[in-house]
Chain A
Amino acid sequence: MQFIPLLFGMTFISFVIIQLAPGDYFTQLQMNPEISPQTIESMRRNFGLDKPVIAQYFYWLGNLARFNLGESFSYHVPVSFLIGQKLKNTLALSVFSIFFTWLIAIPLGVYSAIKEGRWQEKMMSFFAYIGISIPSFLIAMLLVFFAARTMVLPVGGTTSVFYINATGWEKFIDYLKHLLLPGIALTLAEIGWLYRLMKNNFLEALGSPYIVTAHAKGLSDGRIYFRHALRNAVNPMITIFGYTLSSVLSGAALVEIITNWPGMGRLILDAVLSRDLYLVMASLLIGGVLLILGNLVADILIAAADPRVRLR
């Protein structure tokens, strides 16, 4: 429950920072000769932006308590509507990439730790090094370029032209096809460091005294690797998993923007640039909630996996 004050603190500080910076969304509108200063003033009043910052924050908070995230300045629709559309796509992208990143990186990390110093490990670590060195946007750009050249994957958007006549199943497959490009880009961007982390954890576990005991008992290598070392190597990864969940928004943003995947990334970027206050606040709030959820999931999983945590 300690996260409720955390959320308050986080949103309050962000709100104040956003609003204390000179100018607001309507300052840009003032440049537009077609809009009269009176109109702008009344719009400001409408949103309560003529009041002190603290009052504005509590106005936002009061609305939030009634599940009203406010209205977007630039789109003139409720923020919840905008976000609802985009969040779904971001979550789909994140679930896709988290699933495949972990599915591939964990076994490769273990395999490579077992083969430490041999060519298999050297090759994999080399590729991981490359993957970690290339920034995610570059990976995304290369993939977009490749896809556009070869036409094997659709680029941009979530649907094809024939979408309207498609059956539910066909729509799903079509969606997945569009998800593939940003999904692969994000997976490639994340897989290197996760592999490296898992490998290092496994190596550390293998170097522990309890592994000597396991050998001294005469256990087989398989049992030592997959029972004694693996269980210990996985524990720190659980915290990482929670952390991954909480950084879903920021992690996917760059890739979304470059592959033109209609997720939260573009929306947040535009909102920040145009100082669309309520949209920014809602995005921050979602980020905060994800952070808390991620930590919560990590706490629960780690307690389930580690008796030292579960039984104090």
Chain B
Amino acid sequence: MEKMLEIKKLEVSFRPAVGESVKILRGVNLSVGKNESLALAGESGSGKTVTARAVMKLLPNNMNFEKGEILIRDRNVMNLKEQEFRKIRGKDVSMIFQEPSSYLNPVFTAGSQVLEAVKGDGPGRKERTIKLLNEVGLKENVFYQYPHQLSGGMQQRVMIAMALINNPGLLIADEPTTALDVTTAYGIVELLKEMMEKHGLSMLFITHDISLAVNFANMIAVMYAGRIVELAGAGEILNSPLHPYTEMLVSCLPEKYKSGDKIKTIEGKVPDFRDLPKGCSFHPRCPYKKEICLREEPGEMKRGEGIVRCFKYGDFVEA
């Protein structure tokens, strides 16, 4: 089947103003099939946004691609010139962001910013824009309004319209609801699901909220310190998580409490990329660690539809 997105062994490094460069993504493998939704979940700072921006080739200036491949619709885009890749942005792959208020330009109307995204200049661009604004739940007058006149939810709907105006096959949504209150967030999630149905859209849905991830997507990729540590279907993640980190995330979900249980929080903290623990980078927080975990890095092991990186499931060492 056609893959909308495939990331192979992607490595991205960060070059600080002083000091040595630091690897942020350490061999990320991901793929999103047609009409599929993949959730990328993990704590703050695990590298989710960097992954998304790498796919858009919009890394911050102080970050570099080191290795790996990115394929969009089975086409390797790693070596495309900026000129060429620009044609892909907005047309084959679009992105929406965590804070719509700062990702919309404050001095232009919502409508003009959506309209501007339209590729090619056939007639009826404005009608198309207004129609899509309606479709994402906005009235026509929003076309003429400025971002600061809209609520956070409406701003995110404008962003969604902007991202979908050229009917891209793939949408990357980087924590699109994190900045919104609960009910507004619910509306946005429902809208995204509806858009997937209607437009045959595939989605890379980024979130730090594992319950939102399993609610939204069929496949979940769990990221830890710049690596995918587990990939599995939503049901498996929820009911039989393999990786100790996934287990930890899932055990914190409210629906997992039995009465009398203490409320659990994730213990330990996200490791510092400049000083990752030797061996499995999760070992300082892992209740199952064994001797090999301190020495070697676990490699990717197949488990059913998915993968896991943990020595609990065999001594396969990362090459």
Q: Which residues of A contact B (CB under 8 A)?
A: 208-210, 212-220, 223, 228, 231-232, 235, 305-308, 311
CB within 8 Å for A220 and B106 given contacts A209-B99, A308-B146: no
Which residues of B in the span 155-172 have a Cβ within 8 Å of any Cβ on A?
A: 159, 162-163
B58–A215 contact, CB under 8 A? Answer: yes
B116–A213 contact, CB under 8 A? Answer: no
Give the 9 A-B CB pairs with smallest separation, nearest first: A218-B89, A218-B90, A210-B105, A217-B117, A307-B146, A209-B102, A209-B103, A217-B90, A213-B103
A231 to B97, CA, bound (A): 22
B91–A218 contact, CB under 8 A? Answer: yes
CB within 8 Å for A306 and B58 given contacts A217-B90, A217-B117, A218-B86: no
A231 to B87, CA, bound (A): 25
A307–B105 contact, CB under 8 A? Answer: no
A210–B102 contact, CB under 8 A? Answer: yes
Q: Mark B175-202, 1 if CB is under 8 A from A, else 0.
A: 0000000000000000000000000000
Chain A residues near B108 (CB-CB < 8 A): 228, 231
Tell me what chain A mostly uses at the interface: helix, strand, loop, or mixed.
helix
B148–A307 contact, CB under 8 A? Answer: yes
Chain B residues near A218 (CB-CB < 8 A): 86-91, 117, 119
Supply 17 further A-B pairs (C-beta < 8 A) apart from A209-B103, A213-B105, A218-B90.
Answer: A209-B97, A209-B99, A210-B103, A210-B104, A210-B105, A213-B159, A214-B105, A216-B95, A217-B94, A217-B116, A218-B117, A219-B86, A219-B116, A231-B107, A232-B105, A307-B106, A311-B149
Chain A residues near B99 (CB-CB < 8 A): 209
Q: In chain B, what residue has the closest Cβ to A310?
A: B146
Interface status of B56 (Cβ within 8 A of chain A):
yes
Pick from A215, A219, A232 the residue with the most CB of B within 10 Å.
A215
B107–A216 contact, CB under 8 A? Answer: no
Chain A residues near B105 (CB-CB < 8 A): 210, 213-214, 228, 231-232
Q: Mark B106-135, 1 if CB is under 8 A from A, else 0.
A: 111100000011010000000000000000
A215–B89 contact, CB under 8 A? Answer: yes
A235 to B94, CA, bound (A): 29
CB within 8 Å for A213 and B104 given contacts A218-B89, A219-B116: yes
